[in-house]
Amino acid sequence: MRLPITQAFLILMGLAFCSAFVLPSRYTNPLRAPVQGLFIPVSAPAARLANWAHAHWANDAETDPRKNDSIVAENVRLRNQVSWLIEQNRRLAVLAGEKKSLGDLNKLCQRFSVGGSDTGNRETLQLIDGILANVREGQPVLYFGGLAGRIDASGQVRLLTDPGFNVSGKFVRFVQQGDRQELFPFTDLHPSVFGMGQGRMRITMNSLAEVKNAQLAVGDWVVLSDDTWPAEVQGKRIGKVESIAPRKDSPLFAEIKLAPETALIHLSEVFVLVGKN
């Protein structure tokens, strides 16, 4: 017996339209979770091949200064550790009397290989064995250079650079002190950082005057300072100030563009914070 495919097609199109344009994503995203990883047998080797080719031939000198340079990579890890420790110390001071150790963040994290990236124009990553390891919505995702994003309802990693992703942070500056770099918070501004796609984030809610008064400059960093995220990841680096300019639609406000340490969409492994202190 032949199915009336045209009628079935029209019904499916109607359902797809409702799902895409009408129904809130929280109802449909969980439907995707059980089939995460379905395409990894093809996407993982393809991603490895593509990343190998990208590393050898792409000109990413500006976005990935670590290329072929292990000393720079080590420096990045140390800077990140310093920013995290300073923020943790500050929080411990606030919680005076509670002599609770924050523990070693590495022990709280589970390492995952990335099996593929978003098939559309968004910025998400699929984790190999993410569903089997039972990662949960909302868990923070880290990489060697700081914070990468968060697990979403469908079990994918939504990157900080995904359009619309929102997180709060604060500005810090790394200053050379002898043979090492130290981190200084130098302003009270608490910016809201929004993902803007194409591997970038932006801050648009601060006036130009505020930015000038704070003496914000290209090269400063934004680190996480957001109470909706777990305490363990506060102080993790979000992005480096890449440019500061007046907003085109509102010239009295500044548009500050941020770039993460490396292109998040090309990460080959990430760490999901699965534990708690």
Q: Which residues bind another protein (CB under 8 A)?
A: 2, 5-6, 8-9, 12-13, 15-21, 23, 25, 28-29, 31-32, 35-36, 38-51, 53-54, 58, 115-124, 126, 152, 156, 158, 162-164, 194-198, 265-266
Beta carbon of residue 207, minimum distance to another protein (angstroms, whole number): 22
Which of 27, 184 has the CB closer to another protein? 27
Q: Could you tell me the smallest distance in angstroms from the CB atom of residue 132 to another protein?
A: 17
Other C-beta atoms lying within 10 Å of the C-beta of residue 12:
11
Q: What secondary structure letter does DSSP report for 156?
A: P
Please give the Cα distance from 51 to 111 (Å, whole number). Answer: 19
CB nearer to another protein: give 32 or 91. Answer: 32
Q: How far apart are CA 189 and CA 87, in angstroms?
A: 15
| DSSP symbols for 57-104 | H---TTT-TTTT-HHHHHHHHHHHHHHHHHHHHHHHHHTTT-------
Sign (positive/negative) of CA torsion 183, 165, 277, 190?
A: positive
CB of 141 to another protein, least distance (A): 14
Q: Which is nearer to another protein, 47 or 108 (CB)?
A: 47
Nearer to another protein, 23 or 95 (CB): 23
3 state SS of 107: helix
The rounded distance, in Å, linking the Cα atoms of 80 and 15 is 46
Nearer to another protein, 108 or 203 (CB): 203
Please state the closest distance from residue 182 (CB atom) to another protein, in A: 35
Q: Which is nearer to another protein, 7 or 68 (CB)?
A: 7
Q: For the chain, where are the E strands, in sequence order?
A: 109-117, 124-127, 140-143, 146-151, 157-159, 166-177, 180-185, 192-197, 200-203, 221-224, 237-246, 254-259, 269-273
Nearest approach in angstroms of CB 140 to another protein is 17
Q: How far is the CB of 54 from another protein (least distance, A)?
A: 4
